[in-house]
Amino acid sequence: LIESTGISEPIPVAQTFSYTDPNNNIDLSSFSYIDTMVTVVDCYNFFKDFGSAETLWDRQLTADDLDNRTIVNLLTDQIEFANVIVLNKIDLVSEQTARILEAAIRKLNPGAKIICAEFAKVDSAEIIGTGSFDFEEASSSAGWIKELQSEHTPETEEYGISSFVFRDQRPFHPQRFYKYLNDVYPHNIIRAKGLFWLASRPDIALSLSQAGGSLRLESAGAWWCSIPEKQRYDYTSYAEMRDDLRKRWHLEWGDRKNEIVFIGQELDKDRYIADLEQCLLTEKEIDGWKDTTWLDEFPKNM
């Protein structure tokens, strides 16, 4: 039984057990494997931690002042990758809070087994010798991935936890989307993840990742349509996904798209979708959009 530090990211830990070094005749997978990946959630502090934008450094949980990971992003990673989640200190929260918490956890990781516990007391048979962990399955177990694959789980909605996917190939207006994220973005979104693009940066696929009080925007690479067709074949991934790309290729936008999953409590989906649509280019703005100089307040190096 191996207990990682509370600030460990689960994927690198899991990858360690498949480490090989042929030069030194090292193959950890030949005598060890991960049987079960367990994450323990502190029910009493969950919503406080999830709503915080504090970093590990802020809470003095790391000695590295360059470690800018947030508590909530680490917590989310640990929840989304586990195949067993223990809701500890369940006795310290009300029944209603416990139900909402469990519904939120199920939305973040629909496939995980959830165990409620007091004082972290769990039957060892639930977590040892289960043979239940699968790395590939865990890598795609996050709720936002399931939503993109249309594997919707409506049963959690009775506790007010629901989700929706915003899809549109038109670009976001950089000023309107910037204002939306800073002034309009709903506070009851607990998790959002996906790709988007800005009219001011047509070649770059951008990633949005929000968990609780933390929102990150960063580059996710180039859109295929921004790469000359002959050069695309230099990438093995292009050959693998070429047929799928052709099916959804747009004459104007190519493979560019906005596709973001939102998970939250008491979501007003129609209003949220309408707010996002207001951030897209209008028909008038689309006319000549490539030649327009857009005011873009987003960080240049995201």
Residues 6+ positions from 301 with CB-CB distance below 8 Å:
none
In degrees, rounded to 5, the angle at the alpha carbon of residue 231 between the alpha carbons of residues 228 and 237 is: 110
CATH 3.40.50.300 fits 10-141, yes or no: yes
**Which residue matches tokens 């968990």?**
211
d(CA 201, CA 28): 44
- Name the pLDDT band for 98 (thresholds 50, 70, 90): very high
**Which structure tokens are listed for 128?**
């040892």
Angle between helices 95-108 and 71-81 (to 10 degrees): 70
Question: Do 274 and 201 contact (CB within 8 A), yes or no?
Answer: no
Question: Do 142 and 211 contact (CB within 8 A), yes or no?
Answer: no
CATH superfamily assigned to domain 161-291: CobW-like, C-terminal domain (3.30.1220.10)
Sorted by where each begins, the domain ranges of the chain are 10-141, 161-291
The predicted-structure confidence for 207-246, as pLDDT tens digits, reads as follows 999 998 889 999 999 999 999 999 999 998 998 899 999 9
What is the CB-side half-sphere exposure of residue 126 using CA atoms within 13 A? 15
Percent of the chain beyond pLDDT 70? 97
Model confidence, pTM: 0.82
Q: Which amino acid is at 54?
A: E
- Name the pLDDT band for 16 (thresholds 50, 70, 90): confident
